[in-house]
Amino acid sequence: MSQAKTVLEFSTPTEAEKEASKAVATLVEFAATSNAPNITEKSLVRAVVNFANTGQARDLPGAPVIIVNGQSFCLASPEMDALRAQLQNDLTAVVQDALAGSTLQRLRKDSSRMVQVPIHEMSLGVPTYRYFPMDLSAVLAHTVLMLRDKAKNGLGKDLKQCKLAGCGQFFLSSDMVADTSKGGRPRERFCKPEHMAAAQTPGAERTRQWRASKARQLASLTAAPTKKE
Ligand SMILES: [Zn+2]
């Protein structure tokens, strides 16, 4: 009876694998000492939601930033406006669980153009990361895809969009506990108490208030200067 001979050999890395391995070593070493923010995934989500709501991208990895007298600023540009509009559409689709196939394809492609290095800052008790994106769209796509996770503790379960017509601000319901001492429940439908109150005003009363305010505006615009006798 013949026995199968055991052959032991090492795989030879390709040139591309060797290059990639060197790049990883360089990046990991850089990440350990980098000034890039060391943040939790939830902090990243907050920064992305803030960009969607306000256009402020200063805290986002990959945002084009200029530094003036030691303070960082993110300049407004048509490209940033377009990224923000696209992000708003993507987040609305996530909230409504209605991401189109073509959108998913774009998000998957964009989200892989970045590296997330685990740092695990012990004081926080949850994993922290430094992000090294090729550009801002990679970070936005990665975050949008993370928000699709609607599992019990998934970040996606937390993302909401204000239901008041004309508002549409995004928020995390876990950031919205009004008063925990009174056992307040996180708000799920409106971004702030004023918007909840406005939405709860009955339709006829709302129309009356709207007409009254329009009439006041019109009166102030058309008020003719009074003639002196
Ligand atoms: Zn609102």
Q: Which pLDDT score, from 0 to 100, does residue 179 have?
A: 53
Distance 97 CA to ligand 1 centre (A): 20
Cα 193 to ligand 1 centre (Å): 9
**Does 10 fall in a domain?**
no
In a domain, 19, yes or no: no
Residues 50 and 134 in one domain: yes
List of the chain residues with pLDDT < 50: 224-229
Going from the Cα of 77 to the center of ligand 1, the distance in angstroms, rounded, reads: 26
Which among 76, 45, 40, 42 is positioned nearest to 58, based on CA atoms?
A: 76
In this predicted model, what pLDDT tens digit does every residue of 152-189 receive, in sequence order?
A: 778 889 999 999 989 999 999 988 866 555 556 667 89
Q: Provide the pLDDT for residue 123.
A: 79
CA 166 – ligand 1 centroid, Å:
8
Q: Can you tell me the distance from the alpha carbon of 118 to that of 122, in angstroms, rounded to the nearest whole number?
A: 12
The model scores a pTM over 0.85: no
Determine the structural domain holding residue 114 and report its residue range. 30-157
Measured between alpha carbons, how far is 185 from 2 in angstroms, rounded to an integer? 73
The pLDDT of residue 229: 40
The pLDDT assigned to 180 comes to 53
219 within some domain: no
Task: Tell me the C-alpha distance between 45 and 92, whole Å.
Answer: 14
User: Distance (Å, rounded) from C-alpha 168 to C-alpha 87?
Assistant: 13
- Asked whether residue 59 falls in the same domain as residue 171, the answer is no
What is the Cα–Cα distance from 123 to 189, expressed in whole angstroms? 33
Same-domain check for residues 186 and 113:
no
How many Å lie between the centroid of ligand 1 and the Cα of residue 160?
10
